[in-house]
Chain A
Amino acid sequence: DGGITQSPKYLFRKEGQNVTLSCEQNLNHDAMYWYRQDPGQGLRLIYYSQIVNDFQKGDIAEGYSVSREKKESFPLTVTSAQKNPTAFYLCASSATGRAVEQFFGPGTRLTVL
């Protein structure tokens, strides 16, 4: 079964702690993306990566960091510098080189107490 997995599904953390959200795909996609979604709003791009060992900031990268050491994995760290981290986080992937759709993982709901 090909797809994207994200873990955990729900995450609770205390203010000031760094947390890392996992995203893994077995679709052999080169490109991977992280989005943040707040209630009643669309998706805002945090970071994206078109290839291993390379990534670019999206519209709201401040307070977040990523790595892309393997093609299959694109973890997102929410640092203590992110002022309002409580949100729904979605990971996506897509092929590159032609017009294709993005495939989304099930999401991680992060709540900072």
Chain B
Amino acid sequence: EDKVVQSPLSLVVHEGDTVTLNCSYEVTNFRSLLWYKQEKKAPTFLFMLTSSGIEKKSGRLSSILDKKELFSILNITATQTGDSAVYLCAADNYGQNFVFGPGTRLSVLP
């Protein structure tokens, strides 16, 4: 059965902290790994990773994929209250569908 697991499910930090969110996957025909941020509405796209070991970076956010160990991490440095959201990880099952994890709820306190 195709599945995506995320950890932790919930995380509370203070502004300025660095956080690492984890995503492991098991899908039949893996093509890419995607990260989304969801703030009480539609998810917004953050990263798509297709190759192992190549870090993708956008401002304070970065992500990397390990296709051998079947996992990805999302790092957020110098967190701000605006980073509070649910972070979703999804595996592209080679054009069949996208399998989503349960999400990590991040709360950043001032």
Could you say which residues of chain A place their CB within 8 Å of the CB of B50? Answer: 99
Q: Which residue of A lies closest to B32 (CB)?
A: A99
Main secondary structure of the interface of B (DSSP, over half): strand
Contact A100 B48 (CB under 8 A): yes
Is B8 positioned at the interface, with any CB of A under 8 Å from its CB?
Answer: no
Contact A90 B34 (CB under 8 A): no
B contact residues, total (Cβ < 8 Å) = 23
Chain A interface bracket (under 10, 10 to 19, 20 to 34, 35 or more) = 20 to 34
Known: A101-B34, A101-B48, A105-B42. A42 touches B100 (CB 8 A): yes
Looking at A43-51, A63-71, A79-87, the stretch in contact with chain B turns out to be A43-51
The interface bits of chain B over 11-40 (1 if a CB of A lies within 8 angstroms of the residue's CB, else 0) are 000000000000000000001101000000
Q: How far is the CA of A92 from the CA of B100 in the complex (A)?
A: 13
Could you say which residues of chain B place their CB within 8 Å of the CB of A100? Answer: 48
Which B residues have a C-beta under 8 Å from some C-beta of A?
A: 6, 31-32, 34, 41-45, 48, 50, 88, 90, 92, 95, 97-103, 105
Q: 11 pairs across A/B with beta carbons < 8 Å?
A: A40-B105, A41-B102, A43-B90, A50-B95, A58-B97, A97-B95, A101-B48, A102-B98, A104-B42, A104-B43, A107-B41
